[in-house]
Structure 1
Amino acid sequence: MVLGPIDYTIIIVYLIGTVAFGAYIGRKIKSGKDYFLAGRSLPWWAIGMSLVVSDIGAVDMVGIAGSAYLYGIVLGNYDWLGSVPVMIIGAFLFIPMFWKRKVATIPEWLGARYNSSVQTTSALIWGIYMPISLGIILYASAVMLNVLLDLNPKILVVSDEKAIVENIAHATSVKKYDFIYSDTVDDAVQKANDRNPVIIFIDNRIGTSADFQKLFQNIPFVYFSKEEVSPSWGESNMHRAREPDWNIFYSIVLMGLIIGVYTFLGGLRAVVYTDVIQCIVMLGGSLFVLFFGIYKLGGVTEFVDIIGAMGERTKDHFSLVLPVDTKTPHPWSGILFGLGIVLANAYWLGNQAIVQRSLGARSMADAKASYIFGALLKILIPFAMVIPGIVALAHNPAIADADKAMATLIKTIMPTGLLGIFFAAFLAGLMSSVDTYLNSAATVWTTDLYKKFIRPVADDTHYLFIGRLFTVVFILVAIYVARFATRFESIYDLAQTLLSFFQGPSLAIIVLGVLWKRATGPGALAGLIGGVAFSSLLMWVNNNATIPLFQVSEPFLYVALWSFMLSLMLTIVVSLCTKQEPDEKLKGLVYRYD
């Protein structure tokens, strides 16, 4: 199914409307406080919806659906176990502590609780991570845009064996191209005329007729045998391909510019209120895709039977708990300890891009209620994001790049007219993730680094100017970084791997800071730096050792767990060996110590 005029109209109206709405909200922004914290005027319901749509934005819509396509419903644990319980705990214990301190960032709170060195170290970590994360999110947005608008360059494979398409996809560049299959010459000619591929690979078993040169005019083609397909073969032959009319980099730039405009103009207030609209559109659209996708398969029973009939590939696709020795990145031990204890808590209690919304709440009650409301909405997310990934597998088990699963499903099952509406729904989630990290990155660099080291004393309009300047810089950095995301099989695993380097150590010093008044600045600094160094060491040894440390393909859950444990121990030991922080400094920063 292709987009019709009505679909394009809906998409254009939605994009223009979002940018105009963000600009309208931004007209009242006069200071850095307005830009970074929305003047601390946000209501609980808006923050709650913004929390959810930001969390399930681009990476989840593309990445978690793609991971579900590969691994199954086990990905639902990232919401049911990894979000709901910790959001409830955070609402009553941690978020009030942050809000009443009137800080703009988590590093700023760490500076108040510990010392300037801890604040600066944490700010540098987040300040480096968020522009990189922005690049990953922009790439996810571009993937969805290209698939839904059919913008990816095409490669046509002509063979009597359909399985060879996947081999060629991985031998060439599965992230950059869409692969078209044909088993006859006549069908190949028709598809070449309709889809305009950049190159055609023809199986020797189909024939080597000289007529192919006439049949495929102006399109380079290569004869191949099944045995010779390899990465080196793919690299050498792809040099013969025509230059595509549209490159995914163009989509990355387009998405970056659109989202950058309304974030630049409107700050956090524009981010949150556009997220409210995007949450409604995205959740409604995603749930409709779920039900309509299962309906098109014939019902729930037929859906389950189709997945079950795929054999070994899908034997665990409906299992929430996977064994320790699973080859997927999601064993039960990693899910329980790495996710349940570390990554989930670190994300909802210490992720600057998430917590910043509650810091802009108009009251402590609103800050608490926003997390509770968000937790209720998160219960729906596996139905809206994870299961559709499995539905995509049932509809098309031969998608070479799993990150294109959700977009391919939408494009396959949605009729003209509805396709534009659901494209807008998914565009909503993509835009929400980018605006979240863009505004938060600008906040950290302005508040914790620029204001502290370069211009400590200035009027608030100056910090507003600097915040907007950083917004422009980080969009450009994200566009550059996005080009490298194509090297990873799953962008969801990539995002989680990056977080695992520092989320465990960050959580350790936050938890000890709130719950243990004996924790000191030197202890927190040792725990943070030591934990990040240990995470890096674990990753390096696992990737370079003859026998890997971990059995799973992407060990981010285990890395997060072990770095958290080491950081806890380092912080406790060094704190006990150093002078206790003064009581007057700790009041209001440690739980039940006012």
Structure 2
Amino acid sequence: MAINSIDVGVFVIYCVFLLVLAWWVSREKSGHTKNSSDYFLAGNALPWWAIGSSLVAANISAEQIIGMSGSGYAIGLAIASYEWMAAITLMVIGKWFLPILLEKKIYTMPQFLEQRFDKRVQLVMAFFWLAVYTFVNLTAVLYLGALAIKTIVGVDMLYGMLFLAVFSMAYSLYGGLKAVALTDIVQVTLLVLGGLLVSYLALVEVSGGAGFIAGFQVLLDKTPESFDLILSPDHEDYISLPGISVLIGGMWIMNLSYWGFNQYITQRTLAAKSLREAQKGVAFAAFLKLLMPVLVVLPGIAALVLAPDLERPDMAYPEMMKLVPTGLMGLAFAALVAAIASSLSSMANSVSTIFTMDIYRQLHGGVNSEKKLVMIGRVAAVTAMLVAMIIAEPLLGKMDQAFQYIQEFTGFFTPGVVAIFILGFFVKRANANSALLAAVSSVVLSILARWLWPELPFMDRVGLIFIVCMALGLAACSKKNSDKAIDLQQVDFSTSGGFKIAAACIVLILIALYATWW
């Protein structure tokens, strides 16, 4: 399906507007040269609304919109647990983790590990995150984004990836995190509006024109199994979403790692004006996460009724976008590209931050000139994007559900990541050896479990291996407190009344959702 000239015009106007906005917010005051704090942490000046919208914009991309909609097509509403459980995870992070990270005034997560443990732990985890961002995240977003563009407008995959890479770099490479975060406000607005439009039109189509409420009822009647939030052990996709584990098991470990210790996510909160501003930002993001399944999962379930014979599940969302009329198609297409470009720019910025601050600066004798650090960061971002473009097709071309693949692959490392930070935050006797043991054990044990116990759902595997990593890390702790241990008495864990109310509301909403579709 090719979009017409009106849709192309709407899309081009959006692209030009975003580039102009990015340039405008990135401009420097007379006499001021952009330094590393400006480029990597937006000068520690982000307000709550920019933090919250940027958190969601960085998160919701091709692997969520295309991949999660595809999983909605193949599995059903159960895949929404990743979104809904993330909401309560964000509140936990805002209460217990952000106060420690912001008190340390860090640029990156590996930098925290160097402060708490030593340079060995910092470098090991820096290389790990660079590999994951480049070979998993950037690659998946580029590939799935290009797949969506090909399905909607017929552009060749290579040209689609090239456009996404150049566009995301064009508005983020000069301005750094500030340009990314402040343009994300526009991106999220467009994402929500475009997603609601696609969901609305899909439901109306399902109802035969009787309205979106009637369409939702049709989905409930025709695909009741798609609305099981907790899958039973005899479900064919139980291995992907193993029942109660989405509430009290490995899902927590996956979410804590992603929302608490993932550089391209936490970088927004590290750039906050203050702790209170960061906490308001994560609360805002948590409420947006509650809305996301309406935008990305419902279209996939609707596609199961409207297009039951798709070649692959990941084509569900692009197929539903074909329902959007002329003019609005340009808006919906812009919303999709907005989400993809936002995540690409966020990941590339985090790659540049980690490479520059944790690897280049460490291996080249500490502090370099601010101008050179910014330049090195830009080169690192472009290099990572090029590598991702080259390997995308060979790596993901034969995948059926890319979202589930990404989750399982990162699940090899997630238990160790969470164990390291929990030990570093709350165990005074934890040392570098205990952290490294937890990290190495996570990978080794995950590979062994995947080989020797293949029928074990990966989410259960993540939960079990986290427990083992924690036990091994605790066993390797020193007999006395580390000199680098965090003095929790000096950390402000208090929260505002508004934060407490927001947390209570999110818990009640989640109870209602799971009670309805248990």
* CA contact 2:204–2:215 (8 Å) conserved in 1: no
Percent of pairs with identical residues: 30
Equivalence for 1:386: 297
Q: Secondary structure at the match of 1:379?
A: helix
Distance 1:263 1:563 in 2: 38
CA shift digits 1:73-126 (9 cap, x unpaired): 001111112x11111111111012101211011111111112222111111110
1:113, 1:589 within 8 Å by CA — same for their partners in 2? Answer: no
Partner residue, 1:573? 475
Match of 1:445 in 2: 355
- The separation in 1 between residues aligned to 2:88 and 2:372, in whole angstroms, is 40
Shift in CA distance, 302/17, structure 1 to aligned 2, threshold 3 Å: closer
Q: Check if 1:125 corresponds to 2:128.
A: yes
Equivalent residue number for residue 283 of structure 1: 192
Match for residue 340 of structure 2? Answer: 430
SS at match of 2:174: helix
- What are the superposed Cα offsets for residues 155-203 of structure 1, whole Å, 9 maximum, x if unpaired? xxxxxxxxxxxxxxxxxxxxxxxxxxxxxxxxxxxxxxxxxxxxxxxxx
| Paired position in structure 1 for 2:264 | 353
Q: How does 1:184-583 map to 2 (within 5 A)?
A: 247-298=156-207, 299=211, 300-305=213-218, 308-309=221-222, 314=223, 316-328=225-237, 329-411=240-322, 413-483=323-393, 484-542=395-453, 548-550=454-456, 555-576=457-478, 579-582=480-483
Say whether the 8 Å CA contact 1:40–1:362 is kept in structure 2.
yes
Calculate the aligned-residue CA RMSD, in Å: 2.0
2:101 is the counterpart of 1:102: no
Return the letter of the residue paired with 2:166: L
Question: Could you say which structure has the larger radius of gyration?
Answer: 1
Shift of 1:283: 0.6
Please state whether the residue corresponding to 2:429 is helix, strand or coil: coil
Q: Secondary structure at the match of 1:266?
A: coil
In the TM superposition, residue 588 of structure 1 has moved relative to its aligned partner by: 5.9
The reply on whether 1:112 has 2:112 as its aligned counterpart is no
Distance 1:562 1:534 in 2: 10
The amino acid of 2:188's aligned partner reads C
Give the deviation of 1:512 after TM superposition: 2.3
Runs of at least 5 residues in structure 1 that lack an aligned partner in the other structure: 152-246, 543-547
CA distance in 1, matches of 2:419, 2:385: 31
User: In 1, distance between residues paired with 2:491 and 2:275?
Assistant: 15
- Tell me what 2:11 maps to: 11
Once the 2 structures are TM-superposed, how far is the Cα of residue 368 of structure 1 from its aligned partner? 1.4
Q: Distance in 2 between matches of 1:449 and 1:338?
A: 34
Contact 2:99 2:492 in 1 (8 A): no
Distance 2:272 2:460 in 1: 34
AA aligned to 2:383 is: V
1:62-77 matched pairs, under 5 angstroms: 62-77=66-81
Q: Secondary structure at the match of 1:332?
A: coil
1:44 aligned onto 2:41: no
Q: Which runs of 5+ in 2 are unaligned?
A: 494-518
Contact 1:42 1:361 in 2 (8 A): yes
Q: Which amino acid in 2 is paired with 1:440?
A: S
Give the direction of change, closer, same or farther, for the CA distance of 1:402–1:549 in structure 2 (3 Å limit).
Answer: closer
1:92 maps onto 2:95 in alignment: yes
- Return closer, same or farther for 1:55/1:589 CA change in 2, 3 Å cut-off: farther
Cα contact 2:110–2:122 (8 A) shared by 1: yes
Q: 3-state SS of the aligned residue for 2:225? A: coil
Q: Deviations over 1:274-295 (max 9, x none)?
A: 1110000111111122122212
Cα contact 1:64–1:492 (8 A) shared by 2: yes
8 Å Cα contact 2:206/2:215 also seen in 1: yes
Q: Counterpart in 1 of 2:25?
A: 25
Report the TM-score, using the length of structure 1 for normalisation.
Answer: 0.78
Deviation at 1:419, TM superposition (A): 0.7
- Contact kept, 8 Å, 2:425 with 2:486, in 1: the verdict is no
CA distance in 2, matches of 1:302, 1:43: 39
The structure with the largest helix share of the pair is 2
| Aligned mates of 1:280, 1:288 — CA distance in 2 | 12
The AA in structure 2 aligned to 1:91 is G
Secondary structure of the structure 1 residue equivalent to 2:346 = helix
CA change 1:113–1:434 in 2 (3 A) is same
Residue 498 of structure 2 aligns with which residue? none
- How far is 1:454 from its partner? 2.3
Give the conservation status (yes or no) of the 8 Å contact 1:337–1:561: no
Provide the C-alpha distance between the structure 1 equivalents of 2:490 and 2:476, rounded to a whole number of angstroms. Answer: 19
The equivalent position to 1:586 in structure 2, one of 482, 486, 505, is 486
Answer yes or no: is the 8 Å Cα contact 2:434–2:476 preserved in 1: yes
CA contact (8 A) 1:135 1:482 kept: yes
Instruction: Measure, in 2, the Cα distance between the counterparts of 1:589 and 1:23.
Output: 43
Q: Deviations over 1:127-169 (max 9, x none)?
A: 1111111011111110111111133xxxxxxxxxxxxxxxxxx
Residue 333 (structure 1) shift: 3.7
Once the two structures are superposed, what CA deviation does each residue of 1:288-314 show, in whole Å capped at 9, x if it has no partner? 2212221222244455446754xxxx5
Matches within 5 A, 1:119-198: 119-132=122-135, 133-151=137-155
